[in-house]
Homo-oligomer: A and B are copies of this chain.
Amino acid sequence: MHSLLTAMYNIARGDDILMIKTGSRDMRGGEKTPEVRLDYERPKRKGISEVIYCPGKSDRQMLSIAQSVRQRKVTMAFSRMSPEQAELVRGDPPIEYDPVSKLGVIKFRDAAPGGVIAVLSAGSSDVPIASEAAAIAELHGCLVKKIFDVGVAGIHRLMSILPEISDADVVIVAAGMDGALPSVVAGLVPGLVIGLPTSVGYGVAAGGHVALNSMLSSCSPGLVVVNIDNGVGAGLSAAIAARHIPA
């Protein structure tokens, strides 16, 4: 093995990775292959919790992860969690579950206080994704203001809430359809604006690609973007941008 690889291996082999052996046995029998490796180093490296993406996880995987989390006493969030999955992993401490944002949390201690985040939605159909972003930011200690259904078809709705967003460190703007709201907001407020496109729409807007591309194409300064329906990513990025980085 080349010396670089050997050196890299020597660093990592002692690292804090939890392997969960829920995998199926192969055809020749033998031991099961671990299917999940939890990254318990993430809070130390990045200052944020790992978030488990739940769709497609088997019951056995969910149970093993919850058990490990509770043994290690680390705070862990679960995104796009079904009510059945939330029921499955109930225990002590309990899982807090919100059916609108489909986010579950097993929490051991409160996060240090973070920045001020405003979370806007253009329409009422964008509320679930906007709520996911808001809940993730709150989990990381941010003070979050949620303001929904202020899209550009009636722009006075946006004007009526300007004081609530003009002093936020970061403004997350969830929008589907034409995705025009983040452009207008980023032209007005001084903080960083994170465009959060949603898959709300039909015809050419189906799936959220128009909203995404519209945000990427904006001329307004200070507007960055995450993937369609990625409320978790918007919330984590807002929490990171709004804190003071320790040198």
A232 to chain B, nearest CB (A): 8
- Which residue of B has the minimal Cβ distance to A3? B44
Number of copies of this chain in the oligomer? Answer: 8
The answer to whether A237 and B223 touch across the interface, beta carbons within 8 angstroms, is yes
The answer to whether A217 and B222 touch across the interface, beta carbons within 8 angstroms, is no
The answer to whether A190 and B152 touch across the interface, beta carbons within 8 angstroms, is no
Task: Name the one of B149, B153, B192 contacting A183, with C-beta atoms under 8 angstroms.
Answer: B153
A160 to chain B, nearest CB (A): 4
The answer to whether B216 and A227 touch across the interface, beta carbons within 8 angstroms, is yes
Number of A interface residues at 8 Å Cβ cutoff, please give it.
131
- Given the known interface contacts A160-B13, A236-B221, the answer about A210 and B210 at a Cβ–Cβ threshold of 8 Å is yes
The answer to whether B7 and A183 touch across the interface, beta carbons within 8 angstroms, is no
Asked whether any CB of chain B lies closer than 8 Å to the CB of A159, the reply is yes
State A194–B15 Cα separation when bound (angstroms).
27
The answer to whether B204 and A152 touch across the interface, beta carbons within 8 angstroms, is no
Task: Write out the residue numbers on chain B whose beta carbons fall within 8 Å of the beta carbon of A153.
Answer: 39, 183, 186-187, 218-221
State A209–B212 Cα separation when bound (angstroms).
13
Asked whether any CB of chain B lies closer than 8 Å to the CB of A67, the reply is no
Asked whether any CB of chain B lies closer than 8 Å to the CB of A24, the reply is yes
- Which residue of B has the minimal Cβ distance to A57? B124
Task: Write out the residue numbers on chain B whose beta carbons fall within 8 Å of the beta carbon of A201.
Answer: 217
